[in-house]
Amino acid sequence: MYHHRKLLGIIALGGVLTLGISGCTAGSGSGNDAEEIISVSAADYNPQPRENLQQGGEVVFPITEITPQMNPFNGDASANTARLAAWYTPQILLMEEDGTPYKNDAYLDEWEYGTVDGKTVVNFTINDDAVWNDGAPIDWTAFEATWIANRSYEEGYSPNATDGYKEIESVTKGDTDKQVVVTFMGEFAWPQMVFTSVLNPMVNTPEMFNEGFIEEPHADWGAGPYKITTFDINGGIVILEPNENWWGETPLLDKVTFRQLDSAASINAFKNGEIDMASTNTKDRLEQVKDMDGVVTYRAQQTANTLLQVDADKPQFQDINVRKAFFMAIDIDQQKKVVWNGLNYEEDPAGSFTLYAFQPDYVNALEEAGYKFDLDAAKALLDEAGWVEGDDGIRAKDGVDLAVTYPIFSDDPVQEASAKALQQQLKAAGFDVTIDTRSPQDFSTDYSTKNWDIFSLRFTASDPFGPAWFCQLYCSDSGLNLSGTGTPEIDTMIHEQLESITDPKAQTLKAMELEAEIFAETWGIFPMYNGPEIWTVKEGLANLTPEPYVGLDLFGVQPVENMGWEK
């Protein structure tokens, strides 16, 4: 997401059931009893220096979806797209657990930024040995192509976000092709957020950017320690092996496999020794692995929001009072009890998509906007909107029931229980909610085509600097927020009142203020809870989750070549 990864991603609904606590207290990195899970660490991923790890070995990861859109910069890409891309495309900038960025020495000799003549300037010096898989040098044209594709929605490109890139005035060659000079239009608060990765300059048209990567990763346009040797979207398999063109430290693993598995299948595959780690984020899943030998459970703070979104373009949600009533009928505390059943977790309210409750300057913007669970108030709003309660409790207007379709993308029992609890909560207000169970493979396509009335998903963050990406969430042309509630007036407010602020602290405070205003004016997206990552892993696997958006390493983004098995 922010500061040094592409922005917020979306991830299949299994993420809605990622459970837990947002308070950061020390927690053990081992043990499988549910009763022990009372706290989490900020990061818990078995960090190890390379000298402690063996050369060789294989690892098999589960992944919820191999997304059809394999361009990680595209608006239809997901967090899973970015997760895969980290293994075969440039990791230009890396990040400490706390979100502090630093250059990847394999790609950059120098990285510096400052102010020149009232404008922020960033200089990159690219490693002379850095090359694409097709043998072409990685040079300043990759940065130029990345800027052009991400700076605007008006040129035919459909980027994940234009934040940061739209503030750039020019990307030019320095003294050599390996030197890049990035000049912003004025002083900019977050110069570290751009160019965490780069596009191959062969991606030089909107058509290639938008359509050229559909079910095609273009492995020849990648770069890095690993290369794709098998890409089977229908079979749900991606295999990577060491890249003979890699110029950096030798990748530790001989083979990396991603297998597409839904929630139930992944836990069985882990128990059968078919994969090397599995999400164990419910009491039942922890119970299933507690007697396994040679495994360890890690628990870390999750940098993600589980949310609900309504489609204001659908007739039943065009009235803001109906949207507000919908959310006021939801008892978040009850939802937490369902998904955290037996885990003894608590967390501070997740009332913002900009900051997490554990971050400085966090404000519960949802509460500031006027939200509280209030069934009577929800009913009064629906009365005012003209929706009349029938004998069966379902409301109707002009002969049409207040009916909505709610797709879920897993047969996980906790997810099903959460959906049914939501269905009953909303029925109490007069909504007729139909739960539609679909294949995880349909998640990204269904979301991007708005094949839904209400939708639950996760927004995941790869860095802690949410205000830098505010427009990606709330501007009217956002490809992430598909609630249809953005307006030109909100766009103007964001551009003139927020993005014009050049001091990061002041911009953060203003972002929290504006978020509450936007919630109150739109009622389109609704944060419910955050939670930790809980994974059970084969003993000895180190430097876990080095990619953006996922994570036992908090905001950390590590070199993928350093993941491996202990000696």
Q: Is residue 320 part of a domain?
A: yes
CA distance between the termini of the chain: 34
Instruction: Tell me which residue range forms the domain holding 343.
Output: 304-529
User: At 444, is the pLDDT very low, low, confident or very high (cuts 50, 70, 90)?
Assistant: confident
Q: Is pLDDT above 90 for 347?
A: no
Q: Is pLDDT above 50 for 16?
A: no
Q: For every residue of 321-345, which 3-state class applies, written as one string? A: HHHHHHHHCCCHHHHHHHHCCCCCC
pLDDT on residue 214: 97
For residue 339 the two structure tokens come to 């998904």
Residues 6+ away with beta carbon under 8 Å from 243: 88, 133, 223, 224, 225, 226, 227, 251
Give the residue, 22 or 475, on which the prediction is more confident: 475
pLDDT on residue 440: 86
- Tell me the mean pLDDT in the region 301-328: 95
For residue 325 the two structure tokens come to 């009533």
For residue 361 the two structure tokens come to 């300057």
The percent of residues in the chain predicted with pLDDT above 90, rounded, is 79
Average pLDDT value over all residues in the chain:
90
| CA-only gyration radius of the chain, Å | 23
Q: Is pLDDT above 60 for 461?
A: yes
pLDDT on residue 523: 98
Contact 83, 67 (CB under 8 A): no
- Tell me the mean pLDDT in the region 206-210: 98
Q: Is pLDDT above 60 for 14?
A: no
Q: Is residue 315 part of a domain?
A: yes
Backbone angles phi, psi at 333, to 5 degrees: -60, -40
Contact 209, 78 (CB under 8 A): no
Total of domains in the chain: 1
Residues 6+ away with beta carbon under 8 Å from 234: none
Q: Is residue 355 part of a domain?
A: yes
Nearest to 348 by CA among 397, 305, 394, 408: 305
Q: For every residue of 133-181, which 3-state class applies, written as one string? A: CCCCECCHHHHHHHHHHHCCCCCCCCECCCCCHHHEEEEEECCCCCEEE
Q: Is residue 51 part of a domain?
A: no
User: At 39, is the pLDDT very low, low, confident or very high (cuts 50, 70, 90)?
Assistant: low
Q: Is the pTM of this model over 0.75?
A: yes
Q: Is residue 28 part of a domain?
A: no
For residue 83 the two structure tokens come to 């997760």
Partners of 111 in the β-ladder? 124
Q: Is pLDDT above 80 for 291?
A: yes
CATH code of the domain containing 421: 3.10.105.10
Q: Is pLDDT above 70 for 31?
A: no
Which H/E stretch holds residue 513?
Answer: helix 504-522
For residue 96 the two structure tokens come to 């400490």
Contact 538, 295 (CB under 8 A): yes
Q: Is residue 557 part of a domain?
A: no
pLDDT on residue 7: 30
pLDDT on residue 462: 77
Give the residue, 535 or 36, on which the prediction is more confident: 535
Integer angstrom CA distances of residue 309 from 384, 525, 529: 22, 4, 14
Q: Is residue 263 part of a domain?
A: no
pLDDT digits (tens, 9 = 90+) for 292-306: 999 999 988 889 999
- Tell me the mean pLDDT in the region 434-449: 91
pLDDT on residue 464: 86
Would you state the torsion angle of the CA atoms of residues 74, 80, 82, 85, taken in this order, to the nearest 10 degrees?
A: -110
pLDDT digits (tens, 9 = 90+) for 129-184: 999 999 999 999 999 999 999 999 999 999 988 999 999 999 999 999 999 999 99
pLDDT digits (tens, 9 = 90+) for 186-205: 999 999 999 999 999 999 99
Report helix, strand or coil for 524.
coil
Which H/E stretch holds residue 103?
Answer: strand 101-103
Residues 6+ away with beta carbon under 8 Å from 548: 1, 5, 6, 9, 79, 82, 83, 86, 196, 462, 557
pLDDT on residue 23: 24
Residue 168 sits at the vertex; the CA angle it makes with 481 and 161, to the nearest 5 degrees, is: 15
Place of tokens 């909100």: 490
Q: Is pLDDT above 70 for 282?
A: yes
Would you state the torsion angle of the CA atoms of residues 459, 276, 557, 140, taken in this order, to the nearest 10 degrees?
A: -100
Report helix, strand or coil for 374.
coil
Nearest to 42 by CA among 28, 24, 27, 29: 24
Place of tokens 């690993």: 226
Mark out the alpha helices in 221-359 (DSSP H runs). 263-271, 283-289, 320-328, 332-339
Which H/E stretch holds residue 255?
Answer: strand 255-260
pLDDT digits (tens, 9 = 90+) for 393-427: 999 999 999 999 999 998 888 889 999 999 999 99
Q: Is pLDDT above 70 for 325?
A: yes
Report the residue count for the chain. Answer: 567
Rounded distance between C-alpha atoms, residue 215 and residue 5, angstroms = 22
Report helix, strand or coil for 466.
helix
For residue 65 the two structure tokens come to 């979806």
Rounded distance between C-alpha atoms, residue 303 and residue 559, angstroms = 19
Nearest to 414 by CA among 501, 288, 285: 285
Q: Is residue 471 part of a domain?
A: yes
Rounded distance between C-alpha atoms, residue 18 and residue 551, angstroms = 11
